[in-house]
A = this chain, B = another copy of it.
Amino acid sequence: MSAGTKDQPNVTPEVQASDEAPQRGNAARVAKTRGKIFGAVISSLDAVGYSECSINRVQTLAGVSRGALTHHFPSKEEMMVKTLEHLLAPVRGPARPGDEATMLRHADEAATLQEELHLLWRRVINTREGRALMEILVAARTDPALSARITPSLHIYNDDFNRNIANLYQASAGHEDELALLWSICRSFMRGLHTQVPYERDPKIITKMVDLFGRIMAPHLSARRPQGETDEEPV
């Protein structure tokens, strides 16, 4: 369904070796296969939603056999849990020192909070990955087993997220303890936007909403002066 899923898998292969280390197996082959599967799951979630993201569809889209899929992910639940963790990984922070930091750090391109939120919307939330994540979150709400599996990951992600923003942003004076809350509000707003985009007559409305929201939030949330940055930027 998506454009050119076969030609440009759109997944980051050969870079996934951060998972449980396969002591014996062929690491490169595993990473490639899992990468293809992750890409297919994400594309399917974005294109047809959680319930239609079937084993058969993923298998076909990824171009792998049923056996390969089953070997890596014994159940659909396992497939979704691992896909979620795959989606959360790049936002949690730099895997190794020197890697690009959290997706929040657009400070070099965005001067104002409004611009920052626009970038967040365009590059993180309103993407295939962002919509796929949304599908998993919504599905897990009514799936106790899935919910139980992903909740710990989400808590860890949330803690990492809050730790990262503490270095990059600050709340207005007198409300320093509200920083995490403020960013939770931003994220909630943008997740909610997901359910408005498909039904909005004028796409510009979405941009206007992000813009106005940024203007409203700006007095309460500002970027830190580049200061906690110097200690770790050899590149």
Contact = CB atoms under 8 A, between A and B. Distances in A.
A212 interface: yes
A150 B208 CA distance: 24
Interface residues on A, range: 35 or more
Interface stretch (A29-37, A64-72, A189-197, A226-234): A189-197
Copies of this protein in the assembly total 2
A185 B213 contact: yes
Q: List the 4 closest A-B pairs by CB distance, nearest first.
A: A51-B51, A192-B192, A49-B142, A188-B192
22 contacts: A46-B142, A48-B142, A49-B142, A49-B143, A51-B139, A52-B142, A134-B195, A138-B138, A141-B198, A147-B198, A147-B199, A181-B205, A182-B212, A185-B209, A185-B212, A188-B192, A188-B193, A188-B196, A189-B192, A191-B191, A192-B192, A192-B194
